């Protein structure tokens, strides 16, 4: 579906954006891949990785999702938008709440308006497990963002733009990953652990890109796509990254959860199991005339998708192989 199409990635200089651009450029023959971000230095550095003579389809566009006028200019002639831009550092969002709101919530509203008015065909937004029963401001802003993208399908009118959301947990190899922290701390012989009971879902950067592109191809508008992922124990990850090192417990940080939750029980009634993924269906009437539930089945009423009660687990050996290959 991406051949000869124009795809724009907001926040495209981030870890996900760069991997997504690489996949699109090398495997899907797009007409253009537009990288929209606000940091000229990161665009310059990304341009070194993707030189124009080798990747003639790539374009760089300076702009901020807070600036609606700039989005109207950027979205002109665009077929698909992948929204990866966000302020996502939990402590920074707690200390600078209005900045997180302006980018994560108002930015999402700007994208929906610009996409509809510019005739973009499909928009898929990246969410996070922290949007589920949020306990910090970052999660609360992403919950609002998710609601905006789902609800946008109900007022597109004749424009026909479709909006959906992808939700997943920690990405191995992304910038700022705990893997990098553990590997750096390995040099000291001691790694810091917040709580030895802590569990997390885990997805590789490559799989996250695949899942987003697959979801964009399958979406009818309004879904929240959740991949089925393995869980891991943080102490096992520490052992895989820094074998033999001592553990120093520092306690759970403000706004942090002991376990990750991607589908709460309150959303089970709207969730279907589609094999390699779950789909959370919206409550809006527009959705049911489009969605084909073939191959999907409802989950139990008391179902929740929690990293602590998952049936797939990564061992220390599994994590070591994944980290080594990343």
pLDDT at position 326 over 80: no
What backbone phi and psi angles, to 5 degrees, belong to 98? -65, -30
pLDDT per residue as tens digits for the range 93-123: 999 999 999 999 999 999 999 999 999 999 9
Is 184 part of a structural domain of the chain?
no
**Residue 6 β-bridge partners:** 32
Is 75 part of a structural domain of the chain?
yes
pLDDT at position 250 over 70: yes
What gap in Å lies between CA 55 and CA 68, rounded to an integer?
28
What gap in Å lies between CA 148 and CA 65, rounded to an integer?
14
pLDDT per residue as tens digits for the range 27-82: 999 999 999 999 999 999 999 999 999 999 999 999 999 999 999 999 999 999 99
How many domains does the structure of the chain reveal?
1
**What pLDDT is attached to residue 172?**
75
- Of the candidates 60, 59, 111, the one whose C-alpha atom is nearest the C-alpha of residue 85 is 111
Report for 1-5, 181-185, 189-193: range of highest mean pLDDT: 1-5
Query: What would the two tokens of residue 281 be?
Result: 């269906």
**What pLDDT is attached to residue 40?**
96
Is 54 part of a structural domain of the chain?
yes
**Active-site residue list:** 130
Is 56 part of a structural domain of the chain?
yes
What gap in Å lies between CA 248 and CA 246, rounded to an integer?
7
Please indicate whether residue 183 or residue 116 has the higher confidence score (pLDDT): 116
Q: Find the domain containing 12 and state its range.
A: 6-169+203-228+262-305
pLDDT band of 173, cuts 50, 70, 90: low
**What pLDDT is attached to residue 175?**
66
pLDDT at position 312 over 80: yes
pLDDT at position 174 over 80: no
**Average pLDDT of span 9-31:** 96
Please report, rounded to a whole number, the percentage of residues in the chain having pLDDT higher than 90: 78
**Average pLDDT of span 142-149:** 98
**What pLDDT is attached to residue 85?**
97
Is 207 part of a structural domain of the chain?
yes
Query: What would the two tokens of residue 139 be?
Result: 């999660």
Supply the DSSP string of 253-289, one letter for each residue: PTT--SS-EEE-GGGGGGEEE-SSEEEEPPS-GGGGG
Q: What is the mean pLDDT of the chain?
A: 93
pLDDT at position 191 over 70: yes
Is 190 part of a structural domain of the chain?
no
pLDDT at position 267 over 90: yes
Is 250 part of a structural domain of the chain?
no
Is 99 part of a structural domain of the chain?
yes
pLDDT per residue as tens digits for the range 212-249: 999 999 999 999 999 999 999 999 999 998 888 999 98
Q: What DSSP character marks residue 272?
A: E
**Average pLDDT of span 129-150:** 96
**Average pLDDT of span 157-182:** 84
Query: What would the two tokens of residue 162 be?
Result: 């479709």
Q: What is the CATH number of the domain that holds 15?
A: 3.40.50.720
Buried b (16+ CB within 10 A) or exposed e, 185-197: bbeeeebebeeee
């Amino acid at each position: 579906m991406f051949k000869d199409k124009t795809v724009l990635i907001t926040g495209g200089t981030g870890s996900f954006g760069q991997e997504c651009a690489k996949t699109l450029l090398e495997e899907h023959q797009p007409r253009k891949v537009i990288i929209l971000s606000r940091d000229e230095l990161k665009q310059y550095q990304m341009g070194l990785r993707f030189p124009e003579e080798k990747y003639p389809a790539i374009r760089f566009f300076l702009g901020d999702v807070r600036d609606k006028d700039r989005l109207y200019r950027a979205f002109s002639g665009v077929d698909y938008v992948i929204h990866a831009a966000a302020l996502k550092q939990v402590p920074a969002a707690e200390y600078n709440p209005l900045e997180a709101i302006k980018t994560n919530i108002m930015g999402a509203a700007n994208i929906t308006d610009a996409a509809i008015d510019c005739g973009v065909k499909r928009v898929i937004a990246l969410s996070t497990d922290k949007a589920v029963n949020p306990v910090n401001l970052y999660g609360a802003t992403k919950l609002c963002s998710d609601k905006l993208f789902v609800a946008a399908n109900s007022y597109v009118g004749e424009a026909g733009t479709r909006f959906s959301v992808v939700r997943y947990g920690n990405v191995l190899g992304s910038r700022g990953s705990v893997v990098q922290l553990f590997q750096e701390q390995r040099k000291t012989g001691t790694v810091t652990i917040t709580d030895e009971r802590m569990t997390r879902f885990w997805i590789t950067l490559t799989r996250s890109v695949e899942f987003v592109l697959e979801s964009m191809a399958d979406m009818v508008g309004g879904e929240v796509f959740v991949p089925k992922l393995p869980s891991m124990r943080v102490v096992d990850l520490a052992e895989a990254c820094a074998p033999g090192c001592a553990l120093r417990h520092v306690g759970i940080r403000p706004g942090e959860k002991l376990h990750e939750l991607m589908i709460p029980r309150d959303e089970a009634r709207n969730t279907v199991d589609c094999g390699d993924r779950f789909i959370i269906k919206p409550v809006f009437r527009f959705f049911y005339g489009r969605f084909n539930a073939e191959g999907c089945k409802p989950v139990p009423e008391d179902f929740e998708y929690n990293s602590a009660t998952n049936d797939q687990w990564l061992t220390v050996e599994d994590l070591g192989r994944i980290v080594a290959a990343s």
